[in-house]
Amino acid sequence: MTALTPAEIERGLAENASAPHGAARIAHAEALSAAAESSGDRTLFRHALSALIDAYEYSAERTKMTVPFARLLQEYDRDPSVFAAHETHGLYWRFKWVTGSIVGSPEVPLDAIERWLAEMERRYRVAGFSERAVRQAEFYLADSLGDRARADRAMSDWAAAERDRMSDCHACELSNQGRYWARREEDTKAIGVWEPVLAGQKTCMEEPHRALAHSLLSLVRLGHTDEARSHHLRGYRMARGNESLLRAIGEHIEFCALTGNESRGLEILSEHTAHLGPLADAEAQLGFNGGVLVLLRRLTDLGHGDRPAVPYEGVGRTVRELADLLYGQVSAIAERFDARNGSGHVSGLLAERLARRPLTDALPLGVRSPVLPGAGTGAVSGRAGAVAGGGGALTGDSVPSGAAGTVRADGAGGAEELADLVERARAFRKRGHPGAALLWDRVADLVDTTGVEPDPQLAADLLERRALHASRAGDAGARALFEETLDAYRTSGQPGRAVLAELYAATAAVQFGAGAGEARDLLAAAAASARALAESDESRPRRIATVEFTRIRIEAHLRAKEAGMLGDGEHGHPDRPDAELPRELTGFIDRTDQVDGLQDLVAAAEAMLAGLALEEGEEARAERLLDSAAGRSLAAGRPWDAAEPLARRAALLFARGRAEEAEEAARAAVGHAGEVADAEEQGAVRLTLADILLRRDEGARDAAAHALDAAHWFDQAGLGAGGGATARLVLARAYGAAGRTAEAAEILQSALPDLLEHGEYVAVQARETLGNLLRDLHDPRGASEQYLLAAETAKGWDDPGAQAHFAQLGAEGLAAAGLRTEAEAAYGRALELWRRVGRNPVAEVRVLRSLAWLVVQDNGVPAIATVPRARQLMEEAAAVLEGAEEPGLRYERGQTWHQLADLLMEQLYDYEDYDEEETEEESGDDASVQDNASVEEEAIALWDRAAAVYAGLGPHALDSRVQCLTRAAWNERALDRPDEALARLTTLREELAAQGGETAKALVAEVDTTLGHMR
């Protein structure tokens, strides 16, 4: 094999950096590392070693990182000067990983670990780093040894040490600290430690994934079952399939085992069977398989020890067999740790875990799991997935992590940290960054925590924060707070901020019912204040434009209110277009577009103008305006402002038939929503993409992921009954399209009450979708209920076609459920409605045929007694299609004769059950009962008639034609005409063979089989 060039290695490293974590990424990283070493390029080799260590870290093979790290450390010790600053930082950062790795490796002797820890402490001290990471590593060692006193000391020192560039992310720290208290069953303390992570305030690549898993048993022990359910659904989705989170997955399985959800636990296990075998990371294997063993032992206790579990290395195992196998492995791992540690601590923890008893009889999870045979309590069926963790807002370094968390209780150092945080908050506010509000919240928390007295400028900022919170909460006191803020900004010498406070006060006045005259006076005063700003004030152009734009919007509202044009109350939208508003917005755009630094305001005006254009039916103009608004936001360095117009443009493009462009725009909207702080907007952009993907071919899986995220964000915004319900409808449809029918039905059933409040059209759509899902789940009775309720909802619609359609579907469901009387009534109603519609003969004919079969299949009456009524219905169906020449109608005519023949033969199949003791008077015409030959002859004639129709319809009807002629041949044979029967089939075979094609070829084989049976 030709050696890779340095350029090829660099390209490979770049590509592998974005590959999913796991075995494939590791294998590629190993190959690239070897190639880099062979190249002789030391810089490239260092980069390859770092990449290999990273690949190991986020996998089930993290203990393998020791060797490449030792090589990297040798490179550094040989010549530190060749390491760039970021390489040096990376080396020290990975030092922590390796320390954790060797603590989790039972083959590494204790004295070697202690020497390594001392070396880490020395190097960190020399490099000028805090001892926080060192004490954290010492805690891990002490905890693994079961040395509680040392662990407590290390924990205390860890928490007290200063956070610096070498500190783990705060989310990971809190997750591990909380887990320590949870293992000691100090659950309240553990939940308190985890709270910032669980609430989404502290996050990282693997958090809150792990904290959600860690918290499950604590929450159940505390009685917080709703939160436990939520953490399981949300957390397992995050951890699923991630081999670096196997311990967390084991905790989810254990949680299921201890809450009456054993079948759900088996489902999770079945998704991770590839990791049941020996792993390079012994600690991960112990954690994962330990949770699996809790489940397997619980199943055994319930009497399921002999039932199949999941395959192990390709071999099927019963629950008991798998439990014995895994117990042997994890016991051996625990013994290896104990041998190294010189204690029985790890074996004791394993025994304690396996001895746990159920915490509750049953904790319904809202997900579907098959009920275990003979189990006392089964899991609730279905799969909710109404929670998600993808796409967190304010990610990366856009918002400080845990700014207030590092201040000591006595407030020392608080003033300096407060100053830094305030500076960042003001910078974010100036940029219009959505994270500014969160930063100001943290500033307020820090002021409260430290007791630092804010200076006048900061006091004004915090007052503004309070006013904004009040306004968003609908508190009428917001106006007074804004007026107080105005005074504070003026007093503290911040005239530019004062103008905004004055404008906010005017807006609050309108929000809380001020009259039009007062509102206009307030807006005029704000405009005058903006113009009065000094020419040297850099905020002056923006303040003038902001006031003007706000005035335009409020003035439109006031005009509509004065004219009585608000269709939905005081705060609704005008029910007639405002001719003045488009002109004012256009003028604003023309004027403001000439001023540097105001493109975000122009973009907002264009987005508003696009909405007006849509109301006037000007779709092309609206699309151009939205495109421009998004482009301006991006050019202004405000990608978060581009998300909404991109999503709106995507929906518009799709409605105009430009699906590919629509998907591209929707994906861009989601991509730019990463820093959007508004949960509703996060939900909306994801819902738009999900809906577009679902309507495109093969997009169901991706659509489901985005719909799941959308539902989560709407829930976060308190809109579970609104946008959240819509997202769940899309999610259910996506799961249904992907074949995940049970999950879809369960999700939709949970959202149905909310969807019924979304108007008749949505209610009908939801019931139809749920009916289809229940039908596919072989619940015809439940399906028919949904269809008939949909029909009832559609009863008042101008077009009775929808009601007819659902009545027919409901009848089919009732018939399948064996509810014959109810089905006949529903079919009758459907037939009446289709005849009223008068333009759907296919539907009318199919209802008549279904009624005919319903009549003849009445189990309480012999078929021979029902055939006359059934024949009448079939003949009615044929009459509807008389003279029809359109291919679809001709096919239905053929089907009617075809099914009539089948129906007539039904009486012969049923004849042996007929009571021959009945009198001639009771049974009717005795000749019609016993003259099988005449029935068979009529059936032959009908099948031939149908086959002739099918012959003129091409390949589409070929299978139906073969059915008719084959059945006719069997009747010929029954009538003692074997030669005619064979001749009929032989001719059919020759016809099929001459046609060619896969369908004809398959049918030739069927005819050959029939000929073989007849000869």
Q: Give the DSSP letter string of 203-215.
A: -BTTBTHHHHHHH
SS3 129: coil
The C-alpha atoms of residue 14 and residue 459 are separated, in whole angstroms, by: 48
Instruction: With a cut of 90, say whether residue 867 has pLDDT above it.
Output: no
Most confident option among 42-56, 226-240, 745-759: 42-56
How many of the other CB atoms lie within 10 Å of CB of 709? 27
Instruction: With a cut of 70, say whether residue 600 has pLDDT above it.
Output: yes
- Residue 167 CB contacts under 8 Å (≥ 6 apart), including other chains: 130, 132, 133, 173
Q: Tens digit of pLDDT for each residue in 414-427?
A: 678 899 999 999 99
Q: What is the predicted pLDDT for the residue at 379?
A: 27
The C-alpha atoms of residue 114 and residue 262 are separated, in whole angstroms, by: 42
Residues in the chain, total: 1015
The C-alpha atoms of residue 664 and residue 512 are separated, in whole angstroms, by: 41
Instruction: With a cut of 90, say whether residue 750 has pLDDT above it.
Output: no
Angle at 894 between CA 892 and CA 900, to 5 degrees: 100
For residues 888 and 897, the answer to whether their CB atoms sit within 8 Å is no
What average pLDDT score do residues 292-315 get? Answer: 93
For residues 187 and 214, the answer to whether their CB atoms sit within 8 Å is no
Residue of 175, 17, 166 lying closest to 94 (CA atoms)? 166
Please identify, in words, the CATH class of the domain defined by 432-565. mainly alpha
Instruction: With a cut of 60, say whether residue 86 has pLDDT above it.
Output: yes
**Bridge partners for 938 per DSSP:** none
Q: What is the predicted pLDDT for the residue at 617?
A: 92
More confident position, 268 or 624: 624
Instruction: With a cut of 50, say whether residue 403 has pLDDT above it.
Output: no
What average pLDDT score do residues 743-760 get? Answer: 85
The C-alpha atoms of residue 392 and residue 200 are separated, in whole angstroms, by: 8
Instruction: With a cut of 80, say whether residue 915 has pLDDT above it.
Output: no
The C-alpha atoms of residue 981 and residue 975 are separated, in whole angstroms, by: 10
Average model confidence (pLDDT) across the chain: 87
From residue 173, give the alpha-carbon distance in Å to each of 4, 206, 245, 292.
Answer: 41, 12, 16, 26
SS3 453: coil
Instruction: With a cut of 60, say whether residue 504 has pLDDT above it.
Output: yes
Q: Give the DSSP letter string of 46-96.
A: HHHHHHHHHHHHTSTTGGGGHHHHHHHHHHHHH-GGGS-HHHHHHHHHHHH
Q: Which CATH number fits domain 840-911+930-1014: 2.40.110.10, 1.25.40.10, 3.30.160.270, 3.40.50.2300?
A: 1.25.40.10
Which range has the worst mean pLDDT, 94-98, 289-293, 396-400, 445-449?
A: 396-400
For residues 276 and 243, the answer to whether their CB atoms sit within 8 Å is no
Residue with structure tokens 């002056």? Answer: 540
What average pLDDT score do residues 948-952 get? Answer: 93
Q: What is the predicted pLDDT for the residue at 574?
A: 53
Amino acid 677 reads A
Amino acid 304 reads H
Residue 860's pLDDT band, with cuts at 50, 70 and 90, is: low
More confident position, 376 or 819: 819
The C-alpha atoms of residue 642 and residue 626 are separated, in whole angstroms, by: 9
Rg (CA), the chain: 37
The C-alpha atoms of residue 306 and residue 374 are separated, in whole angstroms, by: 13
For residues 689 and 670, the answer to whether their CB atoms sit within 8 Å is yes
Region label for 646, one of left (φ > 0), alpha (ψ between -120 and 50) or beta (otherwise): alpha
Write down the domain spans for the chain: 240-365, 432-565, 840-911+930-1014
Structure tokens at 682: 């996060």
Residue 922's pLDDT band, with cuts at 50, 70 and 90, is: very low
Query: Is 0.75 surpassed by the pTM of this model?
Result: no
For residues 422 and 458, the answer to whether their CB atoms sit within 8 Å is yes
Backbone angles phi, psi at 628, to 5 degrees: -65, -40
The C-alpha atoms of residue 737 and residue 67 are separated, in whole angstroms, by: 48
How many of the other CB atoms lie within 10 Å of CB of 808? 24
Q: Tens digit of pLDDT for each residue in 875-898?
A: 999 999 988 889 999 999 999 999
Provide the percentage of residues in the chain whose pLDDT is more than 70: 90
Q: Tens digit of pLDDT for each residue in 105-128?
A: 999 999 999 999 999 999 999 999
How many of the other CB atoms lie within 10 Å of CB of 20? 10
Instruction: With a cut of 80, say whether residue 951 has pLDDT above it.
Output: yes
Widest pairwise Cα distance in the chain: 114
Backbone angles phi, psi at 204, to 5 degrees: -160, -165
What average pLDDT score do residues 392-416 get? Answer: 43
Q: What is the predicted pLDDT for the residue at 371?
A: 52
Is the backbone peptide bond immediately before 208 cis, with ω within 30 degrees of 0? yes
Angle at 258 between CA 254 and CA 259, to 5 degrees: 115
What average pLDDT score do residues 541-552 get? Answer: 95
What average pLDDT score do residues 747-768 get? Answer: 91
**432-565 and 840-911+930-1014: identical CATH topology:** yes
More confident position, 1005 or 58: 1005
Backbone angles phi, psi at 312, to 5 degrees: -120, 115
From residue 199, give the alpha-carbon distance in Å to each of 36, 209, 441.
Answer: 43, 12, 15
